[in-house]
């Protein structure tokens, strides 16, 4: 009885927090094949078949797809939110939006870090202050931190937007390109940290940032540790069923099935790269929440089951809350301390 009452209370709280955002925009469905440099076939069936084939081919050649170039114009500017300033550099792959092509990352150097640093990737639609508190907490644990602004977030947001709609949207091709861009930007952040003398590197991501962090970790040999804060196997599952993505589902639901969506977005989904992640030597932390309304519990459990099946080294933290409530006391402290302790111990 107590468990059912708690679940209902948590669901009501999650729903209330999710409904506070009133600026979600329902945008038209687009295959976005131009973002993939594909010729648009006639009709949805032709577009799907072209997209799915392209995605499968890129998964098979993912080392090439996620290959990046170390930034040549990296610059640390004084001021900003980070105590060490703001890192800027030109993104590896361009977009049609000039603002998005300049990467911003807030730098929090720790005294006596001993060569230890973590790239921190926040959630979709995170405000500018998001994860800055976590970076300061990591500093207290002796770890330097670099908070990346993902594609289309913060200063990278085009002027016509009020949310980071171009990172995850009903434009399927643009969603792939934005996720790829964020992964390449995260790898470029590792280049910069390495150039600053950091030799013990980690990455941590929340929600969408968790997906970006996992794709990065699967393709990186320099990482010692990775923390994935909220986990799901497929981007399509989250968009199809997650409370925070209802406005996208409203558009795509009549044009594609869930199975088709997962095939198109397979190239940016963790499920495609767990075998590759297994070959890496880094420690892994999986954080999930059984009352999550966005990364729903059944999909998080799939991640845990597949890590076990593949014998990928990992630890698990289960938060007694949901997705939005993770940011609320006391769950935010439970989450932050779990992440900081794991990262310090494994770095």
Q: How confident is the model at residue 260 (pLDDT cuts 50, 70, 90)?
A: very high
Mean pLDDT of 265-286: 97
- pLDDT of res. 136: 97
- pLDDT of res. 2: 66
CATH of the domain at 206: 3.40.50.1820
Closest CA to 260 of 55, 99, 101: 55
Q: Could you give the 3-state DSSP secondary structure of residue 90?
A: strand
Number of domains in the chain: 1
Q: What is the side-by-side strand order in the sheet with 116-121?
A: 75-77, 85-90, 102-108, 144-148, 116-121, 200-206, 223-229, 283-288, 315-318
Strands 283-288 and 200-206: unpaired
* Residue 81 confidence (pLDDT) above 90: no
Mean pLDDT of 24-52: 91
- 51-62 pLDDT, tens digit per residue, is 999 999 999 999
- pLDDT of res. 301: 98
- pLDDT of res. 1: 63
Rounded Cα–Cα distance for residues 12 and 23 (Å): 21
- The total number of residues written for the chain in this structure: 347
Closest CA to 327 of 283, 294, 278: 294
Query: Cβ(13)–Cβ(327) under 8 Å?
Result: no
- pLDDT of res. 56: 98
Q: How many CB atoms lie within 10 A of CB 197?
A: 9
Residue for token pair 């499968």: 56
Mean pLDDT of 112-134: 95
- 199-248 pLDDT, tens digit per residue, is 999 999 999 999 999 999 999 999 999 999 999 999 999 999 999 999 99
Residues of the chain with pLDDT > 70, as a percent, come to 99
Dihedral (C-alpha) 248, 26, 163, 265: value to the nearest 10 degrees?
30
Rounded Cα–Cα distance for residues 82 and 159 (Å): 24
Q: What letter would DSSP give residue 126?
A: -
Q: Where does residue 63 rank: exposed (0-12), middle (13-18), buried (19+ CB within 10 A)?
A: exposed
- 181-203 pLDDT, tens digit per residue, is 999 999 999 999 999 999 999 99
Q: How confident is the model at residue 40 (pLDDT cuts 50, 70, 90)?
A: confident
Strands 283-288 and 315-318: parallel
Q: What letter would DSSP give residue 268?
A: G
Give the up-direction half-sphere exposure of residue 292: CA atoms within 13 A in the CB hemisphere.
25
The partner residues of 145 in beta bridges, in order of sequence, read: 108, 118
Query: Cβ(176)–Cβ(149) under 8 Å?
Result: no
CA distances from 62 to 29, 31, 127 (A): 26, 21, 31
Query: Cβ(135)–Cβ(218) under 8 Å?
Result: no
* Residue 124 confidence (pLDDT) above 90: yes
Range of the domain at 62: 2-346
- pLDDT of res. 270: 98
pTM: predicted TM-score of the whole model, two decimal places: 0.97
Mean pLDDT of 272-279: 98
Mean pLDDT of 48-76: 97
Top-confidence residue, 83 or 172: 172
Tell me what the pLDDT averaged over the chain comes to.
Answer: 95
- 1-13 pLDDT, tens digit per residue, is 668 899 999 999 9
């Amino acid at each position: 009885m107590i468990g059912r009452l708690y679940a209902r209370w948590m669901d009501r709280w999650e729903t209330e927090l999710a409904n506070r955002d009133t600026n979600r925009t329902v945008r038209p469905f687009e295959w976005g094949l131009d973002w993939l440099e594909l010729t648009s076939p006639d009709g949805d069936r032709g577009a799907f078949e072209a997209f799915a084939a392209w995605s499968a081919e890129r998964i098979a050649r993912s080392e090439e797809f996620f290959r990046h170039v170390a930034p040549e114009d990296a610059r640390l500017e004084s001021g900003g939110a980070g105590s060490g300033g703001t890192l800027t550099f030109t993104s590896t792959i361009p977009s049609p939006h000039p603002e998005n092509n300049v990467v911003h990352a807030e730098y929090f150097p720790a005294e006596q870090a001993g060569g230890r640093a973590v790239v921190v990737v926040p959630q979709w639609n995170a405000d500018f202050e998001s994860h800055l508190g976590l970076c300061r907490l990591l500093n207290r644990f002796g770890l330097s931190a670099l908070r990346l602004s993902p594609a289309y977030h913060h200063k990278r947001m085009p002027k016509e937007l009020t949310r980071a709609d171009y990172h995850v949207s009903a434009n399927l091709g643009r969603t792939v390109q934005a996720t790829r861009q964020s992964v390449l930007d995260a790898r470029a952040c590792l280049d910069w940290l390495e150039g600053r003398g950091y030799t013990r590197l980690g990455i941590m991501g929340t929600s969408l940032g968790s997906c970006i962090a996992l794709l990065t970790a699967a393709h990186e040999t320099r990482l010692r540790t990775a923390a994935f804060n909220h986990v799901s196997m497929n981007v399509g599952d989250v968009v199809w069923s997650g409370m925070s993505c209802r406005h996208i589902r409203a558009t795509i639901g009549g044009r594609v099935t869930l199975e088709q969506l997962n095939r198109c977005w397979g190239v940016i989904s963790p499920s495609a790269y767990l075998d590759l992640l297994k070959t890496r030597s880094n420690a892994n932390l999986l954080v999930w929440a059984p009352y999550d309304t966005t990364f729903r519990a059944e999909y998080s459990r799939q991640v845990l089951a597949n890590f076990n099946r593949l014998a990928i080294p990992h630890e698990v933290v289960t938060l007694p809350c949901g997705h939005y409530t993770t940011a609320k006391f006391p769950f935010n402290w439970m989450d932050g301390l779990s992440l900081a302790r794991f990262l310090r111990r494994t770095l």
